[in-house]
Amino acid sequence: MKGIFISFEGIEGTGKTVQSKLLYQYLIKKGYGVILTEEPGGTRIGLKIRELLLSIENKDMTSITELLLYNASRAQHIKEVILPAMKKGAIVITDRFTDSTVAYQGYGRGIDLNLIDSIEKTVTNGLKPDITIMLDLDAETGLKRNKGINKIDRLELEDIKFHKLVRNGYLEIAAKEPQRIKLTDASEDIEEIHRKIVNIVIDYIN
């Protein structure tokens, strides 16, 4: 049996991490085999790469280095975690995947989308999420929410202009693939968003 691959996407402060956990707990309770993972990270090597990427000490990192490191983490993640779990028929939930790279390094940093696409093809070998829950929120609100929980990493240090570019990028990505990407308003309350996400996923499973 082939598993199901679900990704969560969105700018900072949209509640991806909370919502991916709630979905995970819901599906486990219903008796499904589920794993919850994240990018960058998800593997031993991926976690080391995550540290390099997010450390505020690495302000001098070039955009291309950044692009390649996110993809390096992804290559390990797919081989070690995602594909083995899917082969066993599990539901794999990941907090971020390839749409993050298109949004942040493509629309945010301005790296050529064709270059990003060709690296993506090599790294993923065509693997795409079956469903992507894209949590949408305006950049100001998202950043304010994150400040509230005292979370600060290298990308969050970027100015509001960068985060607006990323958000607009996400909206363009969502418009291109409405079948896969479920755009979800992240300004509603946690329970309401969770209910909507459960409906989307259960619809897909049935």
Binding residues (CB under 6 A) for ligand TMP: these are 12, 38-40, 70, 95-96, 100-101, 104-105, 155
State in angstroms the smallest separation of the CB of 73 from ligand TMP: 7
Q: Report the residue number, 70 or 170, with the smaller CB distance to ligand TMP.
A: 70
CB of 17 to ligand TMP, least distance (A): 7
Query: Cβ 19 to ligand TMP, closest distance in Å?
Result: 13
And the tokens for 63? 């955009």
Q: Give every CB contact of residue 205 below 8 A, 6+ residues apart in sequence.
A: 4
132 — alpha (psi -120 to 50), left (phi > 0) or beta? Answer: beta
Closest CA to 81 of 71, 89, 92: 92
Q: In whole angstroms, give the CA distance from residue 133 to residue 200.
A: 9
Query: Residue 32 or 45: which CB sits closer to ligand TMP?
Result: 45
Q: HSE (CB half, 13 Å, CA atoms) of 82?
A: 29
Closer residue to ligand TMP, CB minimum distance, 157 or 205: 157
Shortest distance in whole angstroms from residue 50 CB to ligand TMP: 8
CB-nearer residue toward ligand TMP: 25 or 63: 63
Report whether 169 contacts 103 (CB < 8 A): yes
